[in-house]
Structure 1
Amino acid sequence: MAQRTAVVTGASSGIGAASARALAADGWHVIVGARRVDRIEALAEEIGGTAIALDVTDESSVEAFCAAVDTCDLLLNNAGGAFGATSIADADVDEWQAMYDVNVLGTLRMTKALLPKLIASGDGQVITIGSIAAREPYKGGGGYNAAKHAVAALTRVLRIELLGQPVRVCEIDPGMVETEFSLVRFGGDEDKAAKVYEGLTPMGPGDIADAVRWVASRPKHVNIDQILMLATAQTSAQVAHREL
């Protein structure tokens, strides 16, 4: 049986890198894409995969990346992120635009470009990393909430539209995961980022990667539509028990 190929976006760190390692350990050939080429090249060497530069917000970058992918059995749409936590009244439109472009349009660009190859595989899968922010609005999360709600809608519509085609579609929505996410959101402010996880044990990238590898390993007749994953200390987007 030929080795199956998985494409992972946003693979330079966090959930993307952990998922690439998990899939490779399960026997997949993993093609990793991200803007930080030095990181994905090191990762590809580690896991025996392939690194290709990718900026999901750039149409020409997506086209070049996908043209270099000969076959695709699994697409993990992981690239995304939050920028800022301002109120609607003080919203920075540029931040909203950036969140929409990477989370929503980035997912759209990659899915649209690789869909013919996923269908041609005879048993393709699209797994999209969403967020609890896709299910629950919260104060200061307007732009990210809007973007992740849109990603969820895109993913669920794709599932409906592909009914009868040999492609499965899954949405994994994590809560608190300690990655570079909060550091990016708060513009590199390490103190603010640390407070997000203060007094509790958040999930790690490997926890989400375990879910990715499990979904990817289900038999052809089983589709895992949606997964919500939270740390034990968290019950909703902004409700958590902290030992302070």
Structure 2
Amino acid sequence: MRKAKTLLSVYLAYMLEYRAELFLWALAGTLPLILMGVWVEAAQSGAFPLSPGEFARYFLMVFLVRQATVVWVVWEFERDVVEGRLSFRLLRPLDPFLDHLAAHVAERLARLPFVLLLTLLFFLLFPEARFVPEPLPFLLGLGLTVLAFLLRYLMQYTTALLTFWSERATAVEEVFFLLYLFLSGTLAPLEVFPEPLRSLALLTPFPYLVYLPAAFLAGQEVALFPGLGVMLFWGGVFFLLWRLLWRLGLKHYAGHGA
């Protein structure tokens, strides 16, 4: 706990030095708010299973979930390996996994005021999105958001370990990001997907990174199971891959770089 408190305080101070950059990064995640306008307009025809107000609430929650679950560890880890900085991290009595995780959590705390400001602005512009959430679904949505962040971080960190064998692990992450963008519910809620595509998407980890927590937060009627089970299954798979690639990667690591 002492190490965790120290890491969080140090990284929080570091993140607060770049407040303007954090605000720009928060603005960069407003794609769901733009898509919300498109889907709300399309829903006026009544041809979709969600009403305009439900679309507005859903995409607002997608915006909030994505702000809470953004991960960039693959770029940091790749630079550490290529430039040889990982050698210095390995001298510390702390797994780099936890070091980078603390930086991500601190960044969430530093980003929070900007996200709240953008949310208030959103409510002013789109009053139809205002609603009072039910306590239990909202709390479940918050818990699922935390799990979604941990799962996405674990997935990307596992991808980052490929840097031990290739200097372009980020290229693999870009492929995963395309799948994430289309299958996670960021561009459209899964209710509007064709049934075969929706069934296929639900077998992957991507819908549980955005759609499931956002739907709960928005008050939509969605089932907790088997979604939570699939989420935990993929978490277990990537946990095992992380430990395996870490052990093999350390044996392969030569410490070259600057």
TM range (shorter): 0.3 to 0.5
Higher strand share: 1
- Structure whose alpha-carbon radius of gyration is higher: 2
TM-score, structure 1 length as denominator? 0.34
Higher helix share: 2
